[in-house]
Amino acid sequence: MSDGVGVACRESRVGAFLNLRGDAADPGFRNVAASVTGVELPVEPCTWRRHAGHAAAYWLGPDEWLLAMQNGVGVDLESRLRDVLDPRCSVVDVSGAHVQVELSGEDAGKVLQKSSPYDFDPRNFGVGRCVQTVFAKATALVAAREADAFDIVFRRSYADYLLRWLEDAAAEYNASDGRSP
């Protein structure tokens, strides 16, 4: 939810992240995955789907998705999925590998512009789009959640660096009302 003026950045609580590989053209695979996770796998490049308050699926590549589950434990979800998926698919619990933050506010887009060469203008990057790209001197997955609100997923080892980076980049937009991001 956009906070209006300035930029807010807060860590999102995600129960589990899973990396899923399989054949996007196989409806059976997609159905099985959706039945366990509750969310459709997006097949359109650079888009994401969500099941309100429950799960999100991000397109990472033509046969690769990142699942973000609000509830559940990564290893359990991994084995539940493995039990039902074709053995040629791959599912890996990566809950420890990622940190997710939500960046919001009317200047959130400007903070993204400072951080990444990708075009985050709403004309190009509307709600429902996601992109893996260069972010400062690391990489990140950025998803447009609402107008002026973005989910950003990055690797845990870069979290200290990127959170400080975001705070620094947002400072000029928050200076007037004294809020810190």
Partner 1 sequence: MLRIRCPYCQEARSEEEFSHAGEAHIPRPANPDASSDAQWGEYLHLRRNPRGPHREMWVHTAGCRRYFNVLRDTVNYEILATYAMGERPADEPEEGAL
Partner 2 sequence: MSGQVRRLASGGRINRDRGLRFTFDGRVLEGYAGDTLASALLANGVDVVGRSFKYARPRGIVGHGAEEPNAIVQLGSAAASVPNLRATQVELYDGLEARSTGAPVFQRAVGRLGRFLPAGFYYKTFMGSAPLWMASEPLLRHAAGFGRAPTGADPDTYDRMNRHCDVLVVGAGPAGLSAALEAARSGARVLLADEQAEFGGSLLAETRPLGVDGATNWVDKTIGELASRANVELLPRSTVSGFYDHNFLTIVERRTDHLGLVSPNATRERLHRVRADQVVLATGAIERPLVFANNDLPGVMLATSVGTYVNRYAVVPGETLLLFTTNDQAYRTALDWRRAGREVCAIVDVREAPGGELVAAAREAGIEVIAGHVVIEAIGRGRVARAVIAPLNASGDALDGPTRRLSCNLIACSGGWNPTLHLGSQTGVRPRWSEDAAAFLPGDLGVRALCTGAVTGTGSLRACLEEGALAGATAASRTGFGSGRTTFAAPVIDEPRGTPARPLYLVPHARPVSRAPKQFVDYQLDVTAADIELAAREGYKSVEHVKRYTALGFGTDQGKLGNVNGVAILARALGKTIAETGTTMFRPSYTPATFGTIAGRDVGEFFDPERHTPMHTWHESKGAAWENVGRWKRPWYYPRAGETMQQAVNRECLAARDGVAILDASTLGKIDIQGADAAEFLDRIYTIGFRRLGVGRCRYGLMLREDGTIFDDGVTARLAENRYLMHTTTGNAEAVFAWLELWHQTEWPDLDVHFTSVTDHWATAALVGPRSREVLAKVGADIDLSRDAFRFMDVREGEVAGFPARVFRISFSGELSFEVNVPAQHGRGLWDALIDAGSEFGITPYGTETMHVLRAEKGFIIVGQDTDGSMTPADMGMDWAVRRNKPFGFIGDRSLVLSDHQRADRPQLVGLASADGDTVLPEGGQLVDDPKPPPPVPMAGHVTSSYYSARLSRPIALGMVKGGSKRIGETVYCPLADGRILAGTIVDPVFYDPEGERQNV
Query: How far apart are CB 126 and partner 1 at their closest, in Å?
Result: 13
**How many secondary structure helices (H) and strands (E) does the chain include?**
4, 10
Q: Tell which phi-psi region holds residue 106, choosing left (phi > 0), alpha (psi between -120 and 50) or beta.
A: alpha
Report how far residue 4's alpha carbon sits from residue 18's, in angstroms, rounded to the nearest whole number.
32
Stretch that binds partner 2, among 27-35, 48-56, 83-91, 144-152 (CB under 8 A): 83-91
Residue with tokens 């650079």: 46
Residues 6+ apart with CB under 8 A from 47: 59, 128, 129, 130
Q: Please tell me whether residue 169 binds partner 2 under the rule CB under 8 A.
A: yes
- The contact mask relative to partner 2 for 123-142 (x = CB under 8 A, - = no) is xx-----------xxx----
Report how far residue 48's alpha carbon sits from residue 168's, in angstroms, rounded to the nearest whole number.
28
Q: Please tell me whether residue 117 binds partner 1 under the rule CB under 8 A.
A: yes
Residues in contact with partner 2 by the rule CB under 8 A: 19, 21, 74-75, 87-98, 110, 113-114, 116-119, 121, 123-124, 136-138, 155-162, 164-165, 168-169, 172, 175
Residues in contact with partner 1 by the rule CB under 8 A: 45-46, 60-62, 64, 117-118, 131-134, 139
